Amino acid sequence: MRVLITGAAGFLGSHLADRFLADGHSVVGLDNFITGNPDNIAHLAGNERYEFVRHNISTYTYVAGPLDGVLHFASPASPVDYLEHPIATLKVGALGTHNALGLAKAKGARFFLASTSEVYGDPLVHPQPESYWGNVNPIGPRGVYDEAKRFAEAMTMAYHRYHGVDTRIVRIFNTYGPRMRPRDGRVVSNFIVQALTGEPLTVYGDGRQTRSFCYVSDEVEGIYRLFMNGDAEPTNIGNPNEFTVRQLAELVVELTGTKSPIVTRPLPTDDPKVRQPDITRARTLLAWEPAVSLREGVMRTIEYFRQVL
């Protein structure tokens, strides 16, 4: 196959390109580097089955030649990024999704939307199944990301129902691993960078809020299986093992051997209190579930950051 991946220089987009290339497919990567990192795709330079286009998917987009898949991963994806780029975040969720869907329709390609667990907002149902409609504040500071992704899901389903486009929607839960940006504002990278540089580890609130952390190789495998063998309904891909943010901080302190203290800061607006995927659907439909433990994944991620800091 020949597939287009938007956000190809991002954390997940670059790993996904590697996965398609490893199976013998060809990849066109597209990114404007607003949050993507050229270093994430530097190893692909010279690969005859990989081509890169520097472009903003939120503007008119043309890709020459046939495409079998369009995978839309372009978007700021951490609170630091989407609070710094609120309008670009809304645009890539709306205009970017529209352009990517139009391209898939024109090429007769399968369309794959990278959505997010943030569509569930601060959930009133726990764990979160795909049938849960969410509890989102549309005008809060996080609304630019949450509502952009909710709109993108609605647009994807409209193209599926009205135009007959073959579509997939993945709802991605917290994912971590190599190629995260050191200061991207995500909790795993924050804690590891703070620990390795001797800074205090900053826990927001009392640290009892929970997250479910999926190592990147597990996440990408679930995404790949969903693209190949899934259906049009949204599918959670994430690790169902739940940890408090304070437990994560304590694990990072242990594994890095840092002398850094753990300090608390006020909880940001609309920060979810719980986050845990119900992955019954992924287990049943895709025979997928994560294999890498949090301890093992954090150790691998620490080694990556030791090299890049």
Amino acid at 264: T
Residue 81 CA to residue 120 CA, distance in Å, equals: 19
CA atoms within 13 A on the CB side of 223: 32
153 phi, psi to nearest 5 deg: -65, -45
Phi-psi region of 108 (alpha: psi -120 to 50; beta: other; left: phi over 0): left
Amino acid at 9: A
Q: What does the radius of gyration of the chain's CA atoms come to, in whole angstroms? A: 18
Amino acid at 284: T
Residue 24 CA to residue 19 CA, distance in Å, equals: 9
Burial of 131 (0-12, 13-18, 19+ CB in 10 A): exposed
Identify the active-site residue in 50, 82, 120, 145.
145
Query: 118, 103, 31: which is closest to 67 by C-alpha?
Result: 103
User: What is the torsional sign of CA 183, 291, 207, 197?
Assistant: negative
145 is catalytic: yes
Residues involved in catalysis: 145
